[in-house]
Amino acid sequence: MGKQDWKAQRERKAFLALEDGSVFRGYSVGAAADAVGEVVFNTGMSGYEEILSDPSYAGQFVTMTYPEIGNTGINAADMESRGLFLNGFLMHSVNETSNWRAEESLRAALQRRGIPALAGLDTRALTCKLRDTGTLKGCLSVEGKLSEAEAVAKAKAWEGLDGQDYASRVSCDKPYVWDPEGTMTASWGFSPTLPPADLNVVAYDFGIKWNILRNLRQCGMKVTVVPAKTPAADVLAMTPDGVFLSNGPADPAAVGYAADAIRALLGKVPLMGICLGHQLLGIALGGKTYRLKFGHHGINHPVMNLATRAVEVTSQNHNFAIDPATLGEDVEVTHLNLNDQTVEGLRSRCVPAFSVQYHPEAGPGPHDPFYLFNQFRDLMKKA
């Protein structure tokens, strides 16, 4: 901690106000800007760099349940996207950087990117409240201009994420080929020599993470990334061997244009989806989604592969799930969450298409589900 923090820590003028009237006080360590957002908690003990840069957190305040954050600083090589998309960051204790790889401190990165953040919060109490009451809307007050009552009113008045299309807000503006020189993939912990890219994949960017693209390239795929609202006809005109449906933020039911595009692609090209892409594939196959009480946000969620009965430890980040009762006989549930029995994977029995709710790219998280990228490759080869 710098000496300049002690006065702010004692005074605790900054605070988080929730829509139910609760107030959690702390001190500002990010941008000097008030904000509103949906408050969630992440149970990961590491990986805050990847969490900060995950576009799926757009519109949300992320509460870290692990109490000590900041030691590893910020390193551009660990980023999962072109920027920070979350609305705010909440911590118990923020530490100064102590890592030879760090290029910037956590505080400096948050301030430079305009992301408000609080430290000194009772994150245990906040997490327990969210588990009991469910996800809540909040207002982060750091400018010192709002009273607690005014901040609570702002939290209540915010539209929230239900029914909101955030995928188009975080998506790329125009198509691009991922890492044509191989430098961003080969240099990131992989072998310097990548396999030939003998399959062409088009990836919908609903909030895609770079490690997904690295994994696809590592499995011999050339990936062209397209914006969220790209019509199916434009994708098919690129004659891909397969189409990937990425992760992304907010409510899948609000991304109707994507579900329509997926329906038009079914049976014409193999499909693989993860997270939001999984939910959108489920909708395209006739299913419906519903909101989870407090979502799944962490890197240690147990999931059973129903075909092999093997249990995978998985990384997850989502607030919605597919209702299995709405799926027809042509859709098979392939994976289940062992914590709450929610649908974690599905496949079509009629066309080459499958998806999982969790994140097989392990950024951050375990590598148990990496086989799914090779499963996608096999599906394209068979097609």
Query: Is 278 a residue of the active site?
Result: no
φ, ψ for residue 177, nearest 5 deg: -90, 130
Alpha helices, DSSP H, located in 28-120: 48-52, 106-113
Query: Is 219 a residue of the active site?
Result: no
Q: Which of 49, 50, 275, 344 is catalytic?
A: 275
CB 166 within 8 A of CB 250: yes
Closest CA to 81 of 212, 208, 221, 217: 208
The DSSP-derived string for 5-66 is HHHHHHH--EEEEETTS-EEEEEE-S-S--EEEEEEEE--SS-HHHHHT-GGGBTEEEEESS
φ, ψ for residue 164, nearest 5 deg: -110, 135
Residues with Cβ < 8 Å from 340, sequence gap 6 or more? 292
CB 319 within 8 A of CB 374: no
Between the CA of residue 329 and those of 262, 263, 287, 344, what are the distances in Å?
19, 17, 11, 17
Q: Which of 278, 297, 318, 359 is catalytic?
A: 359
Query: Is 68 a residue of the active site?
Result: no
- Give catalytic residues, as residue numbers: 275, 359, 361
